[in-house]
Amino acid sequence: MTISPLRFSGLALLAGLTLQLASCVSTEREASSTSRDPRATYTPPIGERGRVGNKTVLNTVSTSHIFSDPEIKDNFVLQLRGPRILTAQAHLIVLNNAGDTLRHEVLPARALLSEKALLDPQASSVRDQEIAILQGMNSFFADARFTQPAVGPNADQPAELDPQTWSALRADPGAFGFDYTGAGGAERRMAFARKLGKAVIISQ
């Protein structure tokens, strides 16, 4: 049987594509079962990107916790917005069950870097810092960061809080506090003064 040059060329092309596809499948299997350091192959799980105003949403994490109401959980959201992870801003937003904003604070993305990540020479590359920021987002709402009561019985009144707000917090042993690192690396505690109906910040 005689095969025309055109048909032979088509068969050769089909065979080449089949071998290439098999190679891709093999590579994917190898990547999924590799034992190499995951830091070398890690891709930040930014998920589906959206936009808020003119800002690109790079990543969002959230949780729900008792805060303003002793019986209904509020929603805590941390959203990274900006063109790049390292230069982005982290928006900390607390919403009650009705969707009202109780607190909206903006932090630099680098505030999410742990002390270990800042001191570790291996975390000096842009890629590793981006990974550390995303990991910081994943642990931002850890259960251990929510404390009760928000203000201990022997705590001293901070200079930035007025006596009325401090008294309202002290009088509510059921209030929860949320600890986090603010801009400039300052440790902060967010609490809700139910008697006054507002969220307040206590410097640590």
Report the largest interatomic distance among the alpha carbons of the chain, rounded to a whole angstrom.
Answer: 100
The helix/strand/coil state of 129 is helix
C-alpha 62: how far from chain center: 8
Given pLDDT bands bounded at 50, 70 and 90, which one contains residue 200?
A: very high
| pLDDT: which is higher, 94 or 3 | 94
Question: Does residue 7 have a pLDDT over 80?
Answer: no
Select from 129, 175, 26, 101 the least CA-distant residue to 167: 175
What 8-state DSSP symbol labels residue 39?
Answer: H
Q: Are 180 and 204 in contact (CB under 8 A)?
A: no
Share of the chain above pLDDT 70, in %: 69
- Domain extents for the chain? 40-203
Distance CA 197, CA 136 (A): 30
pLDDT at residue number 28: 32
Residue 121 has pLDDT above 60, yes or no: no
> Per residue in 139-191, pLDDT tens?
999 999 999 999 988 889 988 899 999 999 999 999 999 999 987 778 999 99
- 3 pLDDT higher than 50: no
> pLDDT tens for residues 19-75?
343 333 333 333 333 344 433 333 334 444 566 666 799 999 999 999 999 999 999
Task: Go through the chain and tell me how many residues it has.
Answer: 204
Instruction: Say how many CA atoms lie within 13 Å of 106 toward its Cβ.
Output: 5
At 73-91, the pLDDT tens digits run 999 999 999 999 999 999 9
Residue 108 has φ and ψ, to the nearest 5°, of: -70, 145
Those residues with Cβ within 8 angstroms of residue 1's Cβ, 6 or more apart along the chain or in another chain = none
